[in-house]
Amino acid sequence: MYSRAEMEEQFRHYYMVGPVMEDWVGWANLFTEDATYFDHFYGSFTGPDEIAPYLEGTMGGSPCVYTVLKWYAIDGNRVVYEALNRADNPEPGGPPIDFPSFQVIDYAGDGKWSYEEDIWVMGEMKAFAQRYAEAESRFPQSLEQKLSRKDWGPWVDWARPDDGHVARPSWYEKEGFAPFTSLRDIDFGSRAF
């Protein structure tokens, strides 16, 4: 068991590196070599060498999406949290478009995590994608506009970038990078279907 202070410090670091600063390679390196990253749709990925390309490929496929922390709970070596997968509305003045997800992560010590499970509802994600696509068809977006991160919500005040931050995910301008467009693009990890 690790102290509550260590858990709090390490969770804040974990959240800032990945969901806030979008350094998906750096985030993957916060996992142990044998860590399991399990997503109920995309499958299971083991260790940083699989987690990093999975994260970059999926997040690069949806550049408009950023992750807003609503709440988190620490219990022993486990953290459970709810986030909003959010996009700024292409329609000027329109409210953000988002859908919720829940994450379960286990801390392994020495700043490393051994497990993550992502839980979200396919129907909610599809409704989100449809709403965004409809808004973007009326108000087309450049990549730079899709990378806006305007509304981090009122919930967890430390889980946001500094004012003036410009989003530059780790996949941004990476030579040879190709985002995932379907499950068929992921030729690593394992899927139960």
Transcribe 54-83 into DSSP letters.
HHHHHHHT-TT-EEEEEEEEEETTEEEEEE
CB 88 within 8 A of CB 151: yes
Q: Which residue range is the domain that position 140 belongs to?
A: 4-148
Residues 172-186: pLDDT tens digits? 999 999 999 998 999
- CATH number (domain holding residue 137): 3.10.450.50
Residue 78 — very low, low, confident or very high, per pLDDT cuts 50/70/90? very high
Q: Is 161 domain-assigned?
A: no
State the DSSP string of 123-139. Answer: HHHHHHHHHHHHHHHHS
Q: Is 94 domain-assigned?
A: yes
Average pLDDT over residues 17-44: 97
Average pLDDT over residues 71-97: 98
Q: Is 105 domain-assigned?
A: yes
Residue 4 — very low, low, confident or very high, per pLDDT cuts 50/70/90? very high
Q: Specify the pLDDT at position 173.
A: 92
Q: Is 188 domain-assigned?
A: no
Is residue 193 over pLDDT 90? no
Edge-to-edge strand ranges of the sheet holding 31-39: 43-46, 31-39, 112-119, 97-109, 78-87, 66-75
The total number of structural domains that make up the chain: 1
Average pLDDT over residues 95-107: 98
Q: Is 86 domain-assigned?
A: yes
Q: Is 162 domain-assigned?
A: no
Q: Is 189 domain-assigned?
A: no
Average pLDDT over residues 71-99: 98
Q: Is 67 domain-assigned?
A: yes
Is residue 192 over pLDDT 80? no
- What gap in Å lies between CA 105 and CA 112, rounded to an integer? 11
